Structure 1
């Protein structure tokens, strides 16, 4: 239900509705998390036109999170906002959450390739009393034409190596989910813990089948590697859940999987590929970052912010 509509600044208004009512390009905003009672869109409007939004999951404990069980949430600006208007948006959201009895606000702001006003948003969050809780560095390959050129170059390079006899790599829509168990098993054999909410992935793929692609590496007809490519937004491709069978040696396995992501990105005509973060529990995963550097041309941080509200 619509909560309220209040004029704030320069005829801007803040509107709050159930997240299920507003369709957004970042489709994960629509999926409610199990431990949260409701999910709400806070929409910044002028003359009945949306200028920006943020989605929060609201818990019974008085927490507002944007967004749990998702790569990120945060503010999305549809048209360039002045610093004053954007700050008014942030402050209005805080005021409404306080009115609803929220005592802790947490949000993970999407990196800059997803949101052009990333730097201004983070600056104004800091000025509005938010504290930085976590920083993850994402590597990107940006530029539609550059992606196509890189895909052609890497394919030629892999073909020239000629060392993957019997190996086939392809991408396809997802028809079954048996690969999730294999990814979990293969990573466990390597000593990696991968937390996968299989039911949530099944639900998301079922509702948005055109946003998910399965990349499969096969040798002599047997699947020995998988990865997911996810169009988190219509103009991007996210590299997700990669694993190969440790019992079957595969030379250049990581390169083959990433190259197929580039082929998929060319096919889908996206403007950038998000290779995700490279993090260890106690620091940066420099070896993984070095590997991804061959397939990236930019880096942007994903920042998690938190603010405690005094409702006294």
Structure 2
């Protein structure tokens, strides 16, 4: 049951509902794993605030979930796809502004409020209306990171740069094999991912324990893939089902001894085929940022050459 239920000021047919734990909140609209009540419970945040905007029928039209981290209310810490979730069509901007201002009033004990958004293109057509409401409610907008994705329903091999097509042919001719692995390989895979990324000085956004826990708690969402030549593993990838439409290319790692076989090119191409066959519309290739928040240009160029469509992730903060 909601801890607070009250009509939205100035728009009496809409209601603000506030929950202070995930166990009592209804499921989030949109079906995104990282906005789900199961994920919020899995993360074990110390303090949570879940705000729903409901219409007169009781339908959730917009949800914002926050957790306290580093003295700020963040939507949501440690969630690669977080921020608002809603049902189209969004209410008019005035309703959204009143809802956001009501949320801010309830979050006034934090030193700031931060809303992370998924890449711009994923929110159409409601994105611009939500963005306008955030600005009107007093939030400041910042570009957070550069992201790339593949549109699987429109993808063809010609989207790739000619260099990548040559690498793909060479990998195919060399006999590379793509495989979805079972959980018996998980512990070895997590060790190899950490080792190979460390050798290339690539960071790990999750620990071994956190990754193992995610595979355990969300077995239908976390997937493990490899590229091999005979028995030798050349590349490993964790892919995450974000929603029924989006598959997330997460924590790739290549064997430092893979040489010129281009397992990453082969992996993305074969993963795209697998994802398309499973009914996903988008393969999200993730962000291309360095620790100092500048763009990792070589990585961004690689994703673009694979046919990646660039978009930006934005944040709104007080």
What is the CA distance between 1:6 and its match in structure 2?
1.0
What is the CA distance between 1:223 and its match in structure 2?
1.7
Moved more, 28-37 or 103-112: 28-37
- CA distance in 2 between partners of 1:244 and 1:272 (Å): 23
Q: Residues 56 and 265 (structure 1 numbering): CA distance in 2 closer, same or farther, change over 3 Å?
A: same
RMSD value over aligned CA atoms? Answer: 2.8
Equivalent of residue 26 in structure 1, options 16, 21, 32: 32
What is the CA distance between 1:292 and its match in structure 2?
1.0
Aligned to 2:130: 121
Provide the secondary structure at the position in 1 that maps to 2:249: strand
Aligned to 1:310: none
Which structure 2 residues correspond to residues 131-280 of structure 1 after superposition, within 5 A?
A: 131-132=140-141, 135-144=144-153, 146-147=154-155, 149-150=156-157, 160-161=169-170, 164-175=173-184, 176-280=186-290
Aligned to 2:14: 12
Aligned to 1:285: 296
Q: Contact (CA 8 Å) 1:236, 1:271: kept in 2 or not?
A: yes
The unaligned stretches of length 5 or more in structure 1 are: 308-312
Q: Contact (CA 8 Å) 1:164, 1:251: kept in 2 or not?
A: no
Q: Contact (CA 8 Å) 1:174, 1:212: kept in 2 or not?
A: no
- Provide the aligned length of Structure 1 versus Structure 2: 302
Q: Contact (CA 8 Å) 2:160, 2:306: kept in 1 or not?
A: no
TM-score w.r.t. length of structure 2: 0.84
Q: Contact (CA 8 Å) 1:140, 1:272: kept in 2 or not?
A: yes
- CA distance in 2 between partners of 1:268 and 1:113 (Å): 21
Aligned to 1:107: 115
What is the CA distance between 1:161 and its match in structure 2?
3.4
- CA distance in 2 between partners of 1:219 and 1:211 (Å): 27
Provide the secondary structure at the position in 2 that maps to 1:290: helix
